[in-house]
Chain A
Amino acid sequence: MADTAIPPDTAPHAPGTAARRRPGRLPAPERPRRRAPSRATAGTGRLAALLVSPTLLVLTVVVLYPTLMALDESLYGPKGLDPKTGFISDTEPFVGLKNYTDIFTQAGDRFWNAFWNTTFFTVVTVSLETLIGVAMAIVMHRAFRGRSVVRAGILVPWAIPTAISGLLWKWIFNANGIANVVLGHQVLWTADGFSAKIAVVIADVWKTAPFIGLLVLAGLQVIPKEVYEAARLDGASALQQFWRITLPLVKPALMVAVLFRCLDALRMFDLPYILIGAQKGSVETLSMLAQNEASNVRFGPASAYAVLLFLYVFLIALAFVRLLGADLIGGAGGTKKRKSRAVRTPRRRVREVTA
């Protein structure tokens, strides 16, 4: 058949075209040598490319280029000191993948410590924030007197810049601060140890649970009242309504919120840096480690850590989308991420069934 003569190059990318072709099984003989016609119509295709190109250009300059530069930089080691002259050499030696393989040697202890700290913070803070955020959203959603005051009150922490909230909590967790007065027991929160981890978790949950609350509230507000009326008629209890109606319907919004929080928590830097301080083993995250290396003029290892963090974040985002079905395309309107390309149509099913 003629099908074999023309490579189906564009078919997977442009489903519309594929559908148009299939009935006749005709390999579009009109303009066999050109690709353009296979994309909807030539005019709109060109217009689309034109409209998208500024964005692509900006992304190339601010995302792609630096990422490649970081990759390149991560292959170089720190500049050496010439013991005779006492001067640091001008060039960085090429070390290949040594900066990466070093994490499996003893020098990698600090990396793995930072890695597990990052993971710990992400898992613990995001779990707590999800629970508290959903509870906040439900409270905010209820109609009662003074609702606007409660809403505003809940959102205040989110409006405070992280650096400022870091300072606030630093005072609260001072050896003679409010936290210890309330507890009636002196905990040295800012000393390097497990208590420092707890301090960071508390401050982070306080600040970002409202973010999840806000997104979930948006999700709650689009659930039609009729669904609940029908459920009540059928005799569903409040708990059943929550599990069977609220949660599934709010899931797309919730998933987006949780994914965003995860990505945010994985690159956590400012809060532990300000609240506890740099180079504290108990709270050092990957971002802090990379920054610390860079500030000690070791850009190679710093870039390597940054690249590893980038991969880690990327994998988590991918896993999230695949396993938990975060519906980034349709869910909460307008919140699109670069990684959303990974989402394919099967996920849509969930939404269609529930809605």
Chain B
Amino acid sequence: MKTSTARAIQCSAALTAAGLLLTACGSSGGSGSGQSEPAAAASFKGRGPITYVAGKDTTGTVQTIIGRWNKAHPKEKVTFIQLPTDADSQRQQMIQNAETKSDAYTVLATDVVWTSEFAAHQWIEPLPANRFPLGKMLQPVVETAKYRGKLYAVPASSNGGLLFYRTDLLKKAGVTRPPTTWAQMTAACAKVRKLPEAKDMSCYAGQFQKYEGLTVNFAEAVNSAGGQIVDADGKPDVDTPQAKKGLDFLVDAFKDRTIPKEAITYQEEDGRQAFQAGKLIFLNNWPYVYSLAQKSAIQGKFAVAPLPGLNGPGASSLGGSNLALSSFAKNKATALDFMKFFTSEESATYFLKNASLAPPYADLYDNAALDKQYPYLPDLKQSITKAVPRPRVVQYGDVTAAIQNEVYAALTGKKSSAQALKDLQGDLQKLTAQ
């Protein structure tokens, strides 16, 4: 029962028995083989076929890039294993693979917030930083790939929040520049709302449903007001006046209807639809909205800007994905080469052109041809350069749940923002003390 197959059987059988997911999949016995791994990390041995594991490829671009690799390396072919679209299921399958110490997965496409957890469990290998062109990448993006100062993943794509705004309405109301502070934004709204066609519009929205998007938006508000959720050493530091100013912006905006009441149920898509339907003047969302909104009723009537903040431009949270190497995989030498190939500037350009994935490379944002295809790139570069990664903690799942709980309570008026932050600080201290 110490073998991987037995545990796999336990897992699948437990599913059937209790009708529950994953009741008995832990390793209670503890088979001590993982400890010797870090010492041997420097040597990546073995060449041969490997697998690349990522969420469903809706654009077909991943397969093309893998095809290119396979053509050049017929003896070290990469097989693409597609996981479900939603990030939680991807994470769960990767964890299952690691818990059973299976060698089925080689290179993993991980979300930026998983790095610490995967690294602390030693599910992924520390990587030699000198093998990758990290210096050419945007620094906040590289930070997401590190755990305790060591590189555990390579950035493959990035993402940052943008402020979408209605150029037509702002112009009509006499606002010439997009706002850089929250106060400017609400002032612009007040002017726009005096227009007859905009009197029923709401000012601003982001993602405030109780899910990961709320953590992203809260982190942006706190960072944009000069606060932080955890400090550089990973210690919680959210019960501060700056953080309160950030949270208060959201809480007050909900109270005075700057943010519409229904935005408490908004995820990315709800906000996009409201913006496209002409219900919002400002929207905080990912760049993907751009091309979709160009095909909607507000085509040509909007533009993007970096997120506003308390006293100047704000700080976005970071999205995107990294490549990590499973500790239990075979043919690690091949894997390392493939990771280098997949995250190269050439591949990143291809992904940007064909799948509109924001690249980790700084100079791609200044490329005139690409900027023509994606007019938001200069703003996105600013957004990512100033971005602050979400808390990089081992128990990220619990930390984000605690943030969502407290912030949601504050936004819905169940708690004062001061109380919510105090409770959050307590929760986070408990979670990071483990």
Binding site for B on A (CB under 8 A): 61-63, 65-67, 69-70, 72-73, 75-76, 78-81, 86-88, 90-92, 174-176, 186, 188-193, 267, 269, 277-281, 287, 290-291, 294-297, 299-300, 302-303, 306, 309-310
Contact = CB atoms under 8 A, between A and B. Distances in A.
Interface residues of B, number: 52
20 contacts: A63-B17, A66-B13, A66-B14, A67-B17, A67-B18, A69-B10, A70-B18, A73-B24, A86-B147, A86-B394, A88-B121, A88-B394, A90-B35, A174-B270, A190-B209, A280-B210, A291-B20, A295-B22, A299-B22, A299-B26
Contact of B18 (A66, A81, A174): A66
A279 B401 contact: yes
B24 A81 contact: no
Contact of A70 (B14, B117, B121): B14
A281 B261 CA distance: 20
B26 A92 contact: yes
A191 B24 CA distance: 32
A294 B265 contact: no
Contacts of B21: 269, 290-291, 294-295
Nearest to B21: A291
Contacts of A92: 26-28, 30
B120 A88 contact: yes
Given A81-B120, A86-B120, A175-B262, A66 B10 contact: yes
B14 A69 contact: yes
B270 A81 contact: no
A277 B211 contact: yes
Nearest to B208: A191
Interface string B115-132: 001011110000000000
Contacts of A61: 13
Contacts of B22: 291, 294-295, 299, 302
Contact of B92 (A81, A176, A295, A310): A295
B16 to A, nearest CB: 5
A160 to B, nearest CB: 20
Interface of B: 10, 13-14, 16-32, 34-35, 88, 91-92, 95, 117, 119-122, 147-148, 209-211, 261-262, 264-266, 270, 394-395, 397-398, 401, 404-405, 408, 412, 434
Contact of A279 (B25, B26, B119, B210): B210
Contacts of B32: 90-91
The 4 closest A-B pairs by CB, nearest first: A299-B26, A91-B30, A175-B262, A294-B22
A66 B24 CA distance: 7
A117 to B, nearest CB: 15
Contact of B434 (A81, A277, A290): A81
B23 A303 contact: yes
A70 B24 contact: yes
B19 A287 contact: yes
A66 B23 contact: yes
Nearest to A293: B22
Contacts of A297: 26, 95, 117, 121
Contacts of A78: 434
Given A88-B120, A295-B92, A73 B20 contact: no
A190 B26 CA distance: 33
A65 B16 CA distance: 11
A174 B209 CA distance: 12
A291 B29 CA distance: 21
A87 B122 contact: yes
Contacts of A191: 209, 264-265, 412
Given A69-B10, A294-B25, A299-B24, A62 B18 contact: no
Given A191-B264, A287-B19, 13 more contacts: A66-B13, A66-B17, A79-B121, A92-B26, A175-B265, A175-B270, A269-B19, A277-B211, A294-B22, A295-B21, A296-B398, A299-B25, A302-B22
B433 to A, nearest CB: 9
B265 A306 contact: no
Contacts of A290: 20-21, 23
B18 to A, nearest CB: 5
A65 B408 CA distance: 41
Contacts of B121: 79, 87-88, 297
A90 B211 contact: no
B327 to A, nearest CB: 11
Contact of A306 (B23, B28, B405): B23
B30 to A, nearest CB: 3
Contacts of A303: 23-24, 26
Given A63-B17, A175-B265, A295-B92, A277 B26 contact: no
Contacts of B25: 294, 299
Nearest to A68: B24
A306 B18 contact: yes
Nearest to A264: B19
Nearest to B409: A192
Contacts of B34: 90
Contacts of A294: 21-23, 25
B400 to A, nearest CB: 9
Contacts of A193: 412
Nearest to A296: B397
Contacts of B26: 73, 76, 92, 297, 299-300, 303
Given A188-B261, A291-B22, A306-B20, A81 B10 contact: no
A296 B114 CA distance: 12
A190 B265 CA distance: 6
Contacts of B211: 277-278
A90 B30 contact: yes
B265 to A, nearest CB: 5
Contacts of B412: 191-193
A309 B18 contact: yes
A62 B262 contact: no
A63 B16 contact: yes
A295 B405 CA distance: 18
B51 to A, nearest CB: 23
A61 B13 CA distance: 7
Contact of B209 (A70, A176, A267, A277): A277
Nearest to B404: A279
Contact of B394 (A73, A81, A300): A81
